[in-house]
Amino acid sequence: MLKVRVKVKDRKFSIPVPYAVLNLASLIITSKRVNRFINNAIEKDDSKFIFPEIDRKDLKPLLQGLSKYKGLVLVETRLKDGTEVEVKL
């Protein structure tokens, strides 16, 4: 399970994200229809960036490997205004 912790001034939020939700999100991101929608939205803003097409078979081993490293801190940031964000497996 992916755990996202956010601390803003005097409030703390902890959001658990199960691997099933990550797998569902990967299905949505790798969809050709969603990719076309994102690229059309980017073209309307006259940007030269193109959202790359990602294959599901490339993401699947990555998501399976995440479960082997429980407790690993992926992101840990602290801003000058006291905001803290931590993403942990």
User: Rounded distance, CA 55 to CA 65, Å?
Assistant: 17
Encoding tokens for residue 39? 């690229």
pLDDT at position 52 is 85
- How far is 8 from 85, CA to CA, in rounded Å? 9
* Alpha helices, H only, 5-88: 19-29, 32-44, 56-66
Residues 6+ apart with CB under 8 A from 11: none
- Enter the tokens of residue 75: 């992101």
Residue 30: the pLDDT is: 87
pLDDT the model gives residue 55: 86
Does the pLDDT of residue 9 top 90, yes or no? Answer: no
CA separation for the pair 22, 30 (Å, rounded): 12
pTM for the structure as a whole: 0.66
Per-residue pLDDT band for 5 (boundaries 50, 70, 90) equals very high
Domain ranges of the chain: 2-88
pLDDT tens column, 27-86: 888 888 988 888 888 888 777 788 888 888 888 888 888 888 888 999 999 999 889 999
What is the per-residue pLDDT for 66? 83
Contacts of 9 (CB under 8 A, 6+ apart): 81, 82, 83
